[in-house]
Amino acid sequence: MLGFIIRPPHQLLSLLSCPGLRIPRFSVLCAPLRLRTMAVSSSSWELPLVAVCQVTSTPDKEQNFKTCAELIREAARLGACLAFLPEAFDFIARDPEETQRLSEPLGGNLLEEYTQLARECGLWLSLGGFHERGQDWEQTQKIYNCHVILNNMGSVVATYRKTHLCDVEIPGQGPMRESNSTIPGPSLESPISTPAGKIGLAICYDMRFPELSLALVQAGAEILTYPSAFGSVTGPAHWEPVSA
């Protein structure tokens, strides 16, 4: 069962558990079925509701937060237990220097706003790619691409720093060098238990490396996540083959 609300330039895709369902041109996250015993002598299938929030980020961090917060509150109103935001939900800068300037530590103001929002809505949040100033910022002047999971009390319960950086040659656009400003993460994160199931954390370009997915599944992941901020060329090259 699938329901969605489209609000250009962003959209909220809300969905119930959907094992085996394939939706062209959408990245669908399917929560596992759970059997719940009722107070009477019957039972029913409880289908966790999750929300996939798609946004078009800009350099305006405040406006980006307002857009994401609107979608998250709507997800909570619809009864979702977990909302997913994409890579670079916090911002997409106009140049590398602006990216460095706008980045924050995990203990900064922006994550505090999302912490309060998670508590307000009573909702788990998957923050799919945060421009993080790590503890080594002063020495390296480079950031991490960090996938953060908040529980419904606003606590950080998992962080994964992207291990495979996108250094590629794009036809007609020249090179993309994520490693110029970003440090690869040191390790994988164990799957995290959420109301929708055990989630394996990855980000965008990680999907090109199946060993990561296999390791997460072998560790118990029921849902694999690849929050992405693909462009007009890289997006179709990745998602159209997946959804075909």
Residues with active-site annotation:
87, 162, 204
Cα–Cα distances (Å) from 211 to 202, 214, 218, 238, 244, in that order, read: 12, 5, 10, 17, 22
Strand 43-46 to 34-37 pairing: antiparallel
C-alpha 149/C-alpha 111 separation (Å) is 11
Return the structure tokens found at 41. Answer: 């002598």
Is residue 204 within 8 Å of residue 164, measured between CB atoms? Answer: no
| Rounded distance between C-alpha atoms, residue 81 and residue 124, angstroms | 6
How far is 123 from 116, CA to CA, in rounded Å? 11
Closest CA to 75 of 121, 119, 32, 113: 121
The rounded distance, in Å, linking the Cα atoms of 134 and 115 is 19
Between strands 144-150 and 156-161, the pairing is: antiparallel
